[in-house]
Structure 1
């Protein structure tokens, strides 16, 4: 498969989008997970907020062990797989549907933003419980030894609603985050990848730019979400109370705690996510078979959905013939020998057939099959 074939891949293949999305989500969260742990520590109101990224990371390792920055990663693997599978598949479906509905490039930005918003609603419904467990595991002096024990403890002591305490804040943050993210990504692709080919460098650059801009703008809501998820002193029960608590204790600057770590986390994480997703979308895509059977009458048989024919089969059903032009084809069966070629991605065979009933009409058919 050549890169030029990238845009011919089926964009409505839900299975491809879900598999690519799941792998991309897991890669995104796992590769950058230590920096995510640092961000959570820096956003905590219980911390002084004066330490930098490297100092916070070194302190975690020095006082709590080498593996401390990756504690809780298993929760993200469980949550990120299905949530990102639904996230990307729903986004692709909605984006294609809306762009076809609007049928104008000037509405593309609206289509990208709306698709991102709806996809986020689905994503956060599956991801929020994993976020709660993850951040409980990341906080300072966390009493939990594993993600499973953490989830069981939260359920027993705080009830099921604890897993969705920050859901409103998460949506309030992620809807603008993902809208900005998708709009910037798609616009960057138009600038860096005008031919819409599979281009890893363009996908990574667009993803990093989109993630960095969206992360910086939505940092204040991320600080409130961290407060609601960790429930460290002081505690908060809702988004409004969290906003007030942050301002009362840390002032306006409190809303931007950990912004540097958040941007540094999101830029490579989003780049990894998009490049991984686009790679697997490209690798898992398939091109449908082609059947072209021209005759002297100026018609062709198009059978994209038909099964592969053998060398001796002849497709003569007039019901699947479509008119393409008035140009006549003067191919003679015995003048064009049967040929076949096998390559890395399949086999293409050219078979010429002649039917006894058509000897006087000299009708000829050319069958091109790709398997």
Structure 2
């Protein structure tokens, strides 16, 4: 299938931003559940349904959207950076390796590099979100969290967990974009817009699921590092601590709500991003 003509960076940025905000508005409660499960070393939070119902019963329905201001502010630059960086790194690697079409290996390499790039944008927002989603939080909003972090650790404190965040995004993006490329290459050429949407939804959902399988252990230790525990400092040593003390399964705490979010969420991302990019291409063609 021929690759669509590239668009200027600004169109990729806007499309990625719209896609990211659309996904977070639909899927955010599952992110709250995922964080609660990842921070719990005792298993008291239970499964996804139990955790959801407990939060609503004990803390109120609005708690499922606690801390959403940070992700909303983050989603636009985060998703915009994800897709724009993936496109720009794709151009770079195709030129560097002197190939005209994206290959499976280049799609994985491009996704991983885009994930590393995305991490620098994400870390401060993720740190604030984790502190607000923690059941024991003493904070009521973003401003309080940012003020507390800077007062105790300076501006650099906003980048606590950068290394673990980078590994999380490298693995997710490599799986996501690598799978999208592979699955799309196996799909028939869409005959109409409905088929195109279904193909994008399928590819994005499979990519999101694979990315989640690959990156959940890194997400678990990232959450613990950013929650402020002094026991967890660096990614791979933290993986070893969790695995040794709580068992291998603990590295997949929060996996169900995470995959329920990022599987379909990955589909939503790709569908909305592609639709926005198609809109901009059509708009530019009409102006010619």
TM-score with structure 2 setting the length: 0.89
- For 2:120 and 2:192, locate their aligned partners in 1 and report how far apart those are by CA, in whole Å: 33
Higher relative contact order by CA 8 Å / sep ≥ 6: 1 or 2? 2
Distance 2:79 2:216 in 1: 21
Larger of the two Rg values belongs to structure: 1
Shift of 1:46: 4.2
1:180-259 to structure 2, matched below 5 A, reads 180-194=175-189, 199-232=196-229, 235-259=231-255
- Deviations along 1:69-106, one digit per CA (max 9) or x if unpaired, are 1111110111221232222122112324434553365x
Is the alpha carbon distance of 1:196 and 1:98 closer, same or farther for their aligned partners in structure 2, counting shifts above 3 Å? farther
Q: Which has the higher strand share?
A: 1
Please state whether the residue corresponding to 2:213 is helix, strand or coil: helix
Q: 1:8 to 1:263 in 2, by over 3 A?
A: closer
Task: Measure, in 2, the Cα distance between the counterparts of 1:45 and 1:249.
Answer: 13
What are the equivalent positions in structure 2 for 1:6-21 lying under 5 Å apart? 10-21=5-16
CA distance in 1, matches of 2:3, 2:136: 52
Q: Distance in 2 between matches of 1:162 and 1:45?
A: 23
- Taking the aligned partners of 1:87 and 1:50, their CA distance within structure 2 comes to 32
Q: Cα distance, 1:16 vs. partner?
A: 1.1
Higher helix share goes to which structure? 2
Deviation of the 1:7 alpha carbon: 6.9
* CA positional deviation for 1:239: 2.3
Alpha-carbon deviation of 1:160?
A: 3.0
Partner of 1:312: none
TM-score w.r.t. structure 1 length? 0.70
The corresponding residue for 1:65 is 60
Corresponding position: 1:45 with 2:44: no
Match of 1:272 among 241, 255, 268: 268
Q: Tell me the CA shift for residue 256 of structure 1.
A: 1.7
Native 8 Å contact 1:129 1:163 kept in 2: yes
Which of 273, 277, 280 is 1:284 aligned to? 280
- The CA deviation at 1:229 is 1.3
Q: Aligned Cα RMSD in Å?
A: 2.5
CA distance in 1, matches of 2:4, 2:282: 6
1:117 has 2:112 as partner: yes
Q: Report the equivalent of 1:103.
A: 99
In the alignment, the residues of structure 2 paired with residue 197 and residue 176 of structure 1 have an alpha-carbon distance, to the nearest angstrom, of 33
Contact 2:115 2:172 in 1 (8 A): no
Q: C-alpha distance in 1, partners of 2:233/2:220?
A: 14
Q: Does the 8 A contact of 2:16 with 2:82 survive in 1?
A: yes
Long gaps (5+) in structure 2: none
Counterpart in 2 of 1:161?
A: 156
Unaligned stretches of 5+ in structure 1? 1-5, 290-345, 347-369
Q: Classify 1:288/1:26 alpha carbon distance in 2 versus 1 (closer, same or farther; 3 Å).
A: closer
What is the CA distance between 1:146 and its match in structure 2? 0.7
What SS is found at the alignment partner of 1:102? coil
